[in-house]
């Protein structure tokens, strides 16, 4: 550029002039035109301005890129800061809950030490808490009356919500439900929060103050999540109840805050009451003393009955991690922390392994079993074919391993194989059908056998200690192979491809199938069994084509020598016959470019040997008789025609020529066919030997003038 060629000073002046505030383009061009000596000066000045423009553009690009990088880094820092603020908020919430729990525990301990002080404090804190049994009964009756009155307005909940002495209404109010995916308004609902559950009812149209039952959620399996305001979506909170979640909007921020606080407080009170109940049930109770008996044998029986009760161990279920286990499992399931959930279950099973099964243990087991069912359902959904199939077999390892740890190895095996079957089927369907069949078969074999090999390796990793699942894998591999063969046959055999193309495609499939032997899986016999019908049909179809072509040439046979006209054509024919296995073809060539054989016999030789070579590529033991019978039928058409012509021909010269062709068929072609068949199959064929040894293959009527086949 002009600025880089020793004109840096002029470029700086030009830049300052263009950047000045009072720059006028018209005046500048007019002045420049007056000062220039000619067109060359204007061209040089134009180049300098152009170079300055490019330099300015590059500088702008660098500044934009630098600012863009700074913007990305700032956005990343903001994201990190937001994450840390969220974690800090979560920690503060947990600390608040811990402090409230400690305060509540200290108050309970003080109440136990001084009951009178506890009663006065409770009366001061809650005006509804009675100081006498009469007042307690009246307050309890009033709460239940209020609950009954409200529930009478809700249709369909009387049978689902039976009355119980300890159930009472804590809070209720109107909410608006929104769709969790699209954030679209669904309906208006009224929620009733009781001390042990949450009832959601929908408003009835044209009936003010009346509702219809919608759902009932126990507080034990309910999680409350605050939803950040994102105008116009604000004042919302989410309820998590496995396997669903619902989003509700309060009337304003104050009511939303009340809902969040009262829900957390009610859940906490519910957990504390449940903990106290378990502690009371875990305390040993004195056994009633039986009346004295005068029977001397009762003493021995009493001693025997007292022995197990003396040895019975009291299970301590008041540990903090056991009390919080159901809620911890709900959190792990909601957060998709499957490993953490299974670890908690293993920890509980290990703790209760040598403990007696008491009533509190049974109740705890019932709660935990419900969470186990929920966890199993989630893992089953993770392995369902409806989920995304990307990621290969390793993507299923997490869910499969946790199902196995839960003792569901059979179900894990079934779901894993169903998932992989759907993945393989989808991969095959997504293959584009190319114009060239062989190219499509290469892609099909690569996709299918690679997927099968990866699935087998992953199966061996996941189910290493479950030998009973391997039979299921073999059955699955067979069904998958059937799906592959259906796609293979539809493209190769149903489209009527040539025998050579079909042979190459089958060869490719066999080579890919041998790769499975690396993991000890041999499916060659399965692919043979599934392809045998199509290959038989292809062999018979091509046999019929050769027979029809041979008959057509026989009908036009004039028994004349071949004149190939050029040495090149003769050399090409020699090479073709040599590739067919005919090594002594030179003895049948004459002077110049003549061949002492009929065109029909030469064409038959090339076509028959080509058929044999392609058929041997397709060969396996189940096709032995089909291939042998096809060869015999093809050869019979030629030798019968030669035999008939030899018996019917009257011209002595042509008769000598026909004998020469017959000698070529019997002494050269048939031994080559027999030898090549034995090499490809591994054993000789008696039918071909008999065909070669026969001097006359069929007796015909000498007076007949048509060929008998």
Read off the pLDDT of residues 176-191 as tens digits, 9 standing for 90 and up: 999 877 788 888 899 9
Taking each helix axis from N to C end, the angle separating 39-113 and 253-282, rounded to the nearest 10 degrees, works out to: 40
Measure the CA–CA gap between 221 and 125, rounded to whole angstroms.
29
Q: Within 10 Å of residue 411's Cβ, how many Cβ atoms?
A: 17
Q: pLDDT tens digits for 616-672? A: 888 888 888 888 888 888 888 888 888 888 888 778 888 888 888 888 888 888 888
The whole-angstrom separation of Cα 56 and Cα 63 is 11
- Mean pLDDT of all residues in 291-304: 49
Angle between helices 25-35 and 39-113 (to 10 degrees): 150
The yes-or-no verdict on residue 48 having pLDDT over 90 is: no
Q: What are phi and psi of 615, to 5 degrees?
A: -70, -35
Token look-up 């030898």 returns: 675
pLDDT at 509 exceeding the cut of 80: yes
* Whether the predicted pLDDT of 286 surpasses 70: no
Q: In whole angstroms, what is the distance from residue 399 CA to residue 342 CA? A: 11
Q: Stretch 251-263: mean pLDDT, rounded? A: 91
Query: What is residue 1's predicted lDDT score, i.e. its pLDDT?
Result: 36
Which distant-in-sequence residues (6+ apart) come within 8 Å of 358 by Cβ?
314, 315
Q: Which residues pair with 293 in a beta bridge?
A: none
The pLDDT value given to residue 175: 93
The pLDDT score that the predictor gives to residue 393 is 72
**Residue 615 neighbours by CB distance under 10 Å:** 24
The one-character DSSP state at 265 is H
pLDDT of residue 705 exceeding 50, the answer is: no
Is residue 250 predicted with pLDDT exceeding 90? yes
Asked if 342 and 405 count as a contact pair (C-beta separation under 8 A), the reply is yes
Q: Is the pLDDT of residue 137 over 70?
A: no
Mention every residue, 6+ apart, whose C-beta is less than 8 A from residue 144: 163, 165, 167, 168
What pLDDT, on a 0 to 100 scale, did the predictor assign at position 294?
52
Residue 190 φ then ψ, to 5°:
-125, 125
Each residue's pLDDT tens digit, 512-529: 888 777 777 788 888 888
Distance CA 497, CA 538 (A): 9
d(CA 475, CA 261): 56
- DSSP per residue, 363-390: HHHHHHHHHHHHHHHHHHHHHSTTS--T
Q: Give 474's contacts (C-beta < 8 A, 6+ positions apart).
A: 521
Q: Cα Rg for the chain, rounded, in angstroms?
A: 46
Q: Is the peptide bond before 619 cis (omega within 30 degrees of 0)?
A: no
When mean pLDDT is compared across 94-98, 261-265, 420-424, 698-702, the lowest value belongs to: 698-702
For residues 571 and 589, is the Cβ–Cβ distance under 8 A?
no
Chain center to CA of 192: 42
pLDDT, tens digit (0-9, with 9 covering 90-100), for 214-236: 888 888 888 888 888 877 788 89
Q: What mean pLDDT comes out for the span 5-13? A: 53
Give me the sign of the Cα torsion angle 617, 622, 624, 625. Answer: negative
Beta strand spans in 68-222 (E)? 154-155, 169-178, 185-194, 197-203, 211-218
Question: What percent of the chain has a predicted confidence (pLDDT) above 90?
Answer: 3
CA atoms within 13 A on the CB side of 342: 19
Q: Residues 249, 227: contact at Cβ < 8 Å?
A: no
Rounded Cα gap, residues 30 and 25, in angstroms: 9
Contact 593, 563 (CB under 8 A): yes
**Cα–Cα dist 515/524, whole Å:** 10
Place of tokens 């997504």: 430
Q: CA-to-CA distance for 635 and 609, rounded, in angstroms?
A: 11
384-393, 410-419, 657-666, 693-702: least confident range: 693-702
Average pLDDT over residues 241-252: 85
Please indicate whether residue 545 or residue 274 has the higher confidence score (pLDDT): 545
Question: What average pLDDT score do residues 562-585 get?
Answer: 83
CA dihedral 142, 143, 148, 153 (to 10 degrees): 110
Residue 143, Cβ neighbours under 10 Å: how many? 16
Which residue in 479, 480, 504, 478 sits closest to 491, CA to CA? 504
Residue 521 structure tokens: 């899986």
DSSP letter string over 416-447?
Answer: HHHHHHHHHHHHHHTS---SSHHHHHHHHHHH
Residues 123, 125, 129, CA angle at the centre, nearest 5°? 40
- Is 80 exceeded by the pLDDT of residue 466? no
CB 169 within 8 A of CB 150: yes
The residues pairing with 199 across neighbouring beta strands, listed in sequence order, are: 192, 216
List of residues 6+ apart from 434 with CB closer than 8 A: 440, 443
């Amino acid at each position: 550029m002009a600025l880089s060629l020793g004109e840096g000073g002029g470029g700086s002046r030009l830049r300052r002039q263009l950047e000045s505030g009072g720059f006028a383009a018209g005046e500048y061009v007019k002045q420049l035109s007056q000062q220039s000596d000619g067109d060359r000066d204007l061209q040089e000045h134009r180049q300098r301005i152009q170079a300055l423009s490019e330099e300015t553009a590059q500088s702008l690009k660098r500044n934009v890129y630098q600012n863009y990088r700074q913007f990305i880094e700032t956005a990343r820092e903001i994201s990190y800061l937001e994450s840390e603020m969220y974690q800090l908020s979560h920690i503060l919430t947990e600390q608040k809950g811990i402090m409230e729990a400690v305060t509540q525990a200290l108050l309970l301990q003080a109440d136990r030490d001084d009951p009178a002080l506890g009663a006065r404090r409770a009366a001061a804190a809650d005006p509804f808490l009675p100081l006498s049994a009469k007042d307690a009964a009246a307050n309890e009756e009033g709460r239940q009356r209020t609950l009954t009155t409200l529930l009478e307005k809700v249709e369909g909940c009387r049978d689902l919500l039976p009355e119980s002495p300890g159930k009472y209404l804590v809070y209720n109010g109107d909410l608006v439900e929104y769709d969790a995916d699209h954030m679209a308004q669904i309906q208006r609902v009224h929620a009733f929060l009781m001390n042990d559950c949450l009832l959601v009812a929908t408003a009835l149209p044209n009936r003010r103050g009346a509702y219809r039952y919608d759902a009932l959620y126990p507080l034990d399996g309910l999680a409350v999540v605050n939803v950040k305001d994102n105008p116009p979506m604000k004042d919302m909170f989410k309820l998590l109840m496995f396997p669903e979640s619902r989003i509700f909007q309060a009337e304003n921020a104050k009511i939303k805050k009340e809902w969040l606080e009262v829900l957390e407080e009610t859940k906490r009170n519910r957990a504390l009451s449940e903990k106290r109940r378990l502690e009371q049930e875990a305390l040993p109770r004195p056994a009633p003393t039986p009346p004295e008996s005068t029977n001397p044998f009762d003493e021995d029986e009493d001693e025997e009955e007292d022995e197990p009760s003396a040895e019975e161990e009291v299970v301590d279920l008041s540990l903090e991690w056991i009390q919080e286990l159901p809620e911890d499992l709900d959190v792990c399931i909601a957060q998709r922390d499957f490993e953490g959930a299974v670890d908690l279950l293993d920890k509980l099973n290990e703790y209760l392994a040598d403990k007696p099964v008491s009533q509190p243990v049974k109740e705890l087991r019932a709660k935990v079993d419900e969470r186990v069912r929920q966890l199993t359902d989630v893992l089953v959904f993770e392995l369902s074919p409806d989920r995304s199939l990307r990621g290969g077999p390793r993507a299923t390892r997490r869910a499969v391993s946790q199902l196995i740890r839960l003792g569901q190895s059979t179900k894990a095996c079934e779901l894993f194989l169903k998932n992989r079957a759907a993945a393989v089927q989808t991969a095959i369907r997504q293959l584009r059908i190319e114009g060239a069949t062989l190219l499509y078969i290469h892609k099909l074999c690569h996709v299918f056998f690679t997927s099968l090999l990866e699935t087998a390796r992953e199966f061996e990793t996941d189910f290493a200690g479950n030998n009973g699942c391997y039979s299921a894998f073999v059955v699955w591999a067979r069904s998958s192979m059937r799906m592959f063969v259906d796609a293979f046959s539809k493209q190769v055999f149903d489209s009527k491809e040539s025998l050579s193309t079909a042979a190459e495609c089958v060869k490719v499939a066999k080579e890919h199938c041998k790769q499975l032997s690396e993991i000890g899986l041999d499916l060659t016999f399965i692919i043979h069994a599934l392809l045998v019908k199509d290959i038989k049909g292809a062999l018979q179809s091509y046999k019929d084509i050769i027979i029809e072509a041979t008959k057509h040439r026989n009908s036009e046979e004039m028994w004349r020598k071949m004149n190939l006209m050029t040495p090149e054509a003769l050399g090409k024919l020699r090479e073709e016959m040599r590739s067919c296995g005919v090594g002594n073809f030179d003895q049948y060539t004459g002077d110049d470019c003549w061949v002492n054989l009929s065109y029909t016999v030469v064409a038959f030789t090339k076509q028959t040997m080509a058929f044999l070579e392609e058929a041997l590529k397709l060969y396996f033991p189940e096709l032995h008789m089909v291939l042998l019978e096809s060869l015999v039928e093809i050869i019979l058409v030629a030798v019968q025609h030669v035999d008939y012509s030899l018996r019917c021909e009257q011209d002595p010269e042509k008769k000598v020529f026909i004998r020469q062709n017959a000698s070529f068929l019997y002494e050269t072609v048939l031994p080559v066919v027999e030898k090549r068949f034995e090499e490809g199959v591994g054993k000789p064929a008696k039918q071909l030997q008999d065909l070669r040894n026969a001097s006359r293959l069929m007796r015909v009527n000498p007076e007949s003038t048509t060929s008998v086949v």
